[in-house]
Amino acid sequence: MIDFIAGNGPWAWLIAGLVLLALELVVPGGFLLWMGIAGIVTGVAALVWPIGWPAEWLIFGVLSLVSIALWVRWTRSRPAVTDRPYLNRRADQFIGQEAVLEQAIAQGFGRVVLGDTVWRVAGADLPVGQRVRIVGNEGAVLMVEALD
């Protein structure tokens, strides 16, 4: 293989880069994309400048590692954009809303109806019919405070 790369270095790198790009279509994940691009860049560099195969491997390795590291850093720093931000956090969507107690808060717990769901609430003891504001949640229990 080393003899093949040494004899056909630039073309071997270009072909290897294209093969890696094709594999990215089959095995998505992004890593093969950047390695394929690094292979193509290495092949173009070997066509333009006469460099030996150790330098070609060094160029390929450095380009691959740097581009993959930058790609991972960039993708992890981007916030996930979604049209349903509360999909698995339903209780979070009620923070700041007001409700009326359906069951008095006694010994720290009571109930409110929000939409079509009865929610367990926690807070200071309050009577039925008291208006409350939802200030947080602990799992599926809404934390409330009384409104005057």
- Chain mean position to CA 79: 7
CA angle 75, 28, 23 (to 5 degrees): 130
Average pLDDT over residues 25-39: 83
| CA 145 to centroid of chain Cα atoms | 34
pLDDT of 144 > 90? The answer is: yes
pLDDT for 5: 58
Report the first-to-last Cα separation within the chain, whole angstroms. Answer: 81
Query: Is residue 6 predicted with pLDDT exceeding 70?
Result: no
pTM: 0.51
**Rounded CA gap, 58 and 71, in Å?**
20
**So what's the pLDDT on residue 7?**
67
Cβ distance 22 to 37 under 8 Å? no
Backbone phi, psi, residue 12, to 5°: -65, -40
The most confident of 9-13, 30-34, 35-39, 65-69, by mean pLDDT: 65-69
Q: Note the residue count of the chain.
A: 148
pLDDT tens by residue, 81-135: 777 766 777 888 888 999 999 999 999 899 999 888 899 999 998 999 999 999 9
For position 101, what pLDDT does the model report? 92
pLDDT tens-digit profile of 36-91? Answer: 888 888 888 888 888 877 788 898 899 999 998 998 898 888 877 777 766 777 88
